[in-house]
Amino acid sequence: GDSVTQMEGPVTLSEEAFLTINCTYTATGYPSLFWYVQYPGEGLQLLLKATKADDKGSNKGFEATYRKETTSFHLEKGSVQVSDSAVYFCALSDYSGAGSYQLTFGKGTKLSVIP
Amino acid sequence: DSGVTQTPKHLITATGQRVTLRCSPRSGDLSVYWYQQSLDQGLQFLIQYYNGEERAKGNILERFSAQQFPDLHSELNLSSLELGDSALYFCASNPVVDANYGYTFGSGTRLTVV
């Protein structure tokens, strides 16, 4: 089946550092790709998405580009803040038949930003 | 507040018992998804309902079952509980069955089996 592989964490960065979290996927079709963020004690929140090749999703200074040729969707931010400390999940939409889709998630990457 | 409401927030129960987790989707959303989040397995898809009907099953154990009611709220029933069932259980919703839609997640129910 389809799957998502994320870089293992935890990742610790100083404030204002550049962030990259790698994500690659395996899919038989052409999935939509997503990044979700989970703050401590909360549910997952949609951060950004891209629905076709070469699309760039962006939100709150985070960006990710859907690269079909490398089956990747790496998350980047130019200058992280302490408030960005969270767990980040890469996900793809997975067709399960009967017209239904579910999201398949990577294992998550924990980011800690220190002042 | 995401608009998806899960109750209870925390649940502690003994092995062998049965519990029911409840989810109210965001207003207007017809699809409900249940996920289990554990440290070793990550986020695992359990089951999906759309407008009252089961649409897809993932890695859901036979001891687990779910349903979606006419008012669209959903319940996840876990029975003959084992220590390994301890996890965070998330409900998510979206308005349509569409690959391009993301989900709106609730804040989860933390189940501890002792």
Q: How far apart are CA B45 and CA A103, in angstroms?
A: 8
Tokens matching residue B106: 């609730």
The upper half-sphere exposure of residue A115, i.e. CA atoms within 13 Å in the direction of its Cβ, equals: 1
Task: Give the pLDDT of residue B99.
Answer: 63
Asked if B43 reaches chain A (Cβ–Cβ under 8 Å), the answer is yes
Structure tokens that stand for A46 in this block: 């949609």
Nearest-10 Cα torsion for B38, A39, A87, B41: 10
The residue of chain B nearest to residue A35, with distances taken between CA atoms, is B102
CB contact under 8 A, A100 and B55: yes
pLDDT per position as a tens digit, B16-64: 999 999 999 999 999 999 999 998 888 999 999 999 999 889 989 999 9
- For A3-59, the pLDDT digits (tens) are 999 988 899 999 999 999 999 999 988 899 999 999 988 899 999 999 999 999 999
| Cross-chain residue pair A45–B98, CB shorter than 8 Å | no
Q: Give the angle B10-B24-A101 at the CA atoms, nearest 5°.
A: 105
Do the Cβ atoms of A100 and B97 come within 8 Å? yes
List pLDDT tens digits, range B51-106.
999 988 998 999 999 999 999 999 999 999 999 999 999 999 998 777 677 899 99
Handedness of CA A3, B100, A61, B106 (dihedral sign): negative
- Cβ pair A106:B97 closer than 8 A: no
CA distance A53 to A74: 13
How far apart CA B5 and CA B111 sit, in angstroms, is 16
